[in-house]
Structure 1
Amino acid sequence: MFARPNSQHSQVAYVTNDLDAAIEAFGREYDAPAFYTFTNANSGSDENGEQLRIALARVNGVEIELIEPIGNTAPVFSDVLPGGDELAIRFHHICFRIDGPLENWDAHIATLDFDRHPIVFKGALGEMMRFIYTDERRTLGHYVEHVWLAPEILAQIQGATPAYPPARA
């Protein structure tokens, strides 16, 4: 599943019960002091109504994603979080980005065996984005996200995402 044409490991993702505190912890502990933050609420990007606050930073070329589920709308993201008020940050998934035209996404999806790698979360945003999460917890202990972004959206997100260490002038 990992070795596919036009596919590259691009992200490591964590879920948290407090996005602002998690961003602060990543700055203090892991030298990533700023993140690009947004919410998917009302974006129409998923099929089940999951609402998430999301933060992105790029560290040595790998995107770090922090995700805070909003309310009880996103059990795929909140189920691994313990109860209580203490800050929790838990590893959740890695992501493989499919580059190129939308046809590359279709070709990628056609190679996956969904009986062995069941989809637990999926969505799209018009002709700009496609994603699925496959459940690999039985063998790997985590989910795998597969995502395709139209080149202009990818460039926009990458342009807004802080990178560390900062580029030298």
Structure 2
Amino acid sequence: MFARPNSKYSQVAYVTNDVMAAARLFEETYGAPGFYHFTNMQPGGTIGNGPQLKIALARVGGVEIELIEPIGDGAAMFSDVLPGGSDLAIRFHHVAIRIDGPLENWEAYVASIDFDRHIVVFEGQMGDDLRFFYTDERATLGHHVEHVWMSPALSAQVTAATPTYPGAGAS
């Protein structure tokens, strides 16, 4: 599943009980260039009616860092690794494989996955711009894997909004 046409390792993701504090820690301690903050919550529900999440993104050396704060009881897939309590907690959660190009590339990628071996635990989409699913690879790898495709327009929008190191023009 990692070696497929038009796919590449693109992200490392952590869950936290406080996305703002986690972002500050990544900036101050690990030199992250800042974070693009957003939420999937919207009036009347969430994207795909899935768990409610606060999300922060940064890009370092071509790899995206994602911080996720699950909100409420409907986000067990994200919150089950957090220890509880009021102290800041940050735990590794998943890596992501991004599929580039047209939607047909996504469809070919999906068709190549053995879903009997790689169990889907969460999936969703946003119109014609986003497709994703998570497989539970904890028994073998110790974490989930997110599989994601974005339309070129959405990908450009997210890339433009996400603080990046090194910045444009750096060599």
Length-normalised TM-score, structure 1: 0.96
State whether structure 2 residue 134 is matched by structure 1 residue 133: yes
CA distance, structure 2, for counterparts of residue 82 and residue 117 of structure 1? 26
Report deviation, 1:108. Answer: 0.3
RMSD: 1.3
Q: Look up the SS of the partner of 1:12 in the other structure.
A: strand
SS at structure 2 position matched to 1:123: strand
* Residue in 2 that maps onto 1:45: 47
The 2-side partners of 1:94 and 1:82 are apart by 21
Task: Give the residue type in structure 2 aligned to 1:38.
Answer: F
How much does 1:4 deviate?
Answer: 0.3
The equivalent of 2:36 in structure 1 is: 36
- Rounded Cα–Cα distance in structure 2 between residues aligned with 1:101 and 1:11: 20
Distance 2:33 2:11 in 1: 18
Corresponding residue for residue 59 of structure 2: 58
Matched residue type, 1:19 = V
Query: In the TM superposition, what are the counterparts of 1:5-154 in structure 2 within 5 Å?
Result: 5-42=5-42, 44-46=46-48, 48-154=49-155
Distance in 1 separating the partners of 2:72 and 2:161: 26
Give the secondary-structure state (helix, strand or coil) at the position aligned to 2:108.
helix
Structure 2: how far apart are the matches of 1:87 and 1:40?
Answer: 22
Q: Percent identity?
A: 65
Q: Structure 1: which 5+ runs fail to align? A: none
3-state SS in 1 of match to 2:32: coil
Distance 1:149 1:168 in 2: 25
- Alpha-carbon contact 2:46-2:52 (below 8 Å) kept: no
1:44 Cα deviation after fit: 4.7
Alpha-carbon distance, 1:29 to partner? 1.1
Indicate how the Cα distance of structure 1 residues 126 and 44 shifts in structure 2: closer, same or farther if over 3 A, else same.
farther
For residues 66-101 of structure 1, give each alpha carbon's deviation from its aligned partner in whole angstroms, at most 9, with x where no partner exists.
Answer: 000011121100000011000000000000000011
- Corresponding pairs, count: 168
